[in-house]
Chain A
């Protein structure tokens, strides 16, 4: 799938702007603060319906405007063109259309357009907390199959509901027999949806492992040993049993202490945990390798390459690794944003000055 045309109206620092993108590699050049990341963010929004900067969609609307529009023409591998539009309203409901047909729910757009973004913020996958790593896994799962979006949302919701029951149990003098059954059924629901999510994540981690290793070798040019692991101690006994064991503890604390919302991904580099023992450069290369591996897996499984966006990533890497990254770019459409000229093969260059095409 490729994006042929991207139009922004009242998005971030863009009043109106239209970009023509080509197959192959497009470089978007511009000084810092002129809207390169905003362009990448808007493109990725159509794919994930969220900002990779972790802000609500309101934040994408240009300051002073009450709504913004992101419009893209995409062409899939068999040549079919579609027009995708998202209208973002400040403090209101967003709307999405495909070929001028409004979709009943905004989330129905997921899976229509697929984009992988590499950004300097990806460093949190290695350096950040378990939540950052779970988000990486879940985003990858959604890119593989849209149903995981509903599953991850349901897990969040069930955990919140169960926590509320636990908190109310601490304060009220409800009949404890009934409370036991209430917790039993929430446990059973969490174990059902949570078990499915964790199983999918663990399978994903197994598949990613060798691909991350390969990506790291390509970038660093050294035979570094990398191992991924999905950490979910409860999976030995099953979630329902683990929740039952934790119940007294959870009731005292008023929170659910085991489950997929507490799991983690470990990345071990040469037998050392990367979060605490790898150098900054190794951590950056690892984060990039994780994204690259996820991108390759999605390409392989869905038989079609998502658009790859490298947002200001090259400046963070040393010359050798930046060159290796460009040499090992997977097939498909690539958009690179940069403040300086990009070495290597470039098919098309776009210059941005102050939210305008220059």
Chain B
């Protein structure tokens, strides 16, 4: 198909369209929005992108985003080094940190096993996780990958690799959102929550 736009505009649309969650229509809308903005605003956005890309890198230990060699969590020695929570993406750390429930360290896989997208165990930071176990004296690994097909399979793979090392390996529970109504829960979530039921504590 011949493009209806002048080449610079088409290139901008194409580049925006490659971002996650941006379809062709959104890419078009954002491109024309950018073209309408004052130059200074566009420059500020371009600078923010370049600046973040220049300054931010992955933590050498856990692959969280970091400004220095280590991310703030790995650099904090008050955190429990023996427990590691494995997540798919850095943004999952933000979510877990908001709970204030976890005082250990993290390990970011940078994705989940997804053969259709060309992601196997080799493309994830799994080897790096295995070398951390002895080096840091890790005794428990909590698998916090997403409760979808790919996340579950990744957790199973990690469990298979970690269990022979004699660690405690646990999987985050899945179930009902707190404050929600049973009536509105989907069947699969409710089914899982039933499977994972617990005896009621006396105390």
Contacts and interface: CB of A to CB of B under 8 A. Distances in A.
Contacts of A171: none
Contacts of B115: 161-162, 164-165, 168
A188 interface: yes
Contacts of A184: 160
Contacts of B187: 145-147, 150
Contacts of A162: 115
A174 B149 contact: no
A89 to B, nearest CB: 10
A182 B121 contact: yes
Contacts of A147: 186-188, 191
B95 interface: no
Contact of A185 (B116, B122, B160, B191): B160
Interface residues of B, number: 20
A92 B24 CA distance: 10
A185 B149 contact: no
A161 B112 CA distance: 12
A189 B120 contact: no
Chain B interface main SS type:
helix
Interface in B145-162: 149-150, 152-153, 156-157, 160-161
Contacts of B122: 174, 178
A189 B156 contact: yes
Contacts of B153: 161, 185-186, 189
Interface in A184-218: 184-186, 188-189
Interface residues of A, number: 23
A146 B190 CA distance: 13
Interface in B131-171: 149-150, 152-153, 156-157, 160-161
B87 interface: no
A186 B188 CA distance: 20
Interface in A246-268: none
B28 interface: no
B121 A178 contact: yes
B188 A150 contact: yes
A92 B157 contact: no
Contacts of B71: none
Nearest to A108: B186
Interface string B46-81: 000000000000000000000000000000000000
Interface of B: 25, 113-116, 120-122, 149-150, 152-153, 156-157, 160-161, 186-188, 191
Interface of A: 92, 145-147, 150, 154, 157-158, 160-162, 164-165, 168, 174, 178, 181-182, 184-186, 188-189
> What 8 pairs across the A-B complex have the smallest Cβ distances?
A164-B115, A147-B187, A185-B156, A185-B157, A165-B115, A161-B115, A185-B153, A189-B153
Given A178-B121, A182-B113, A185-B157, 19 more contacts: A147-B187, A147-B191, A150-B186, A150-B187, A154-B149, A158-B149, A161-B115, A161-B116, A161-B149, A161-B153, A162-B115, A168-B115, A168-B120, A181-B157, A185-B113, A185-B153, A189-B149, A189-B152, A189-B156
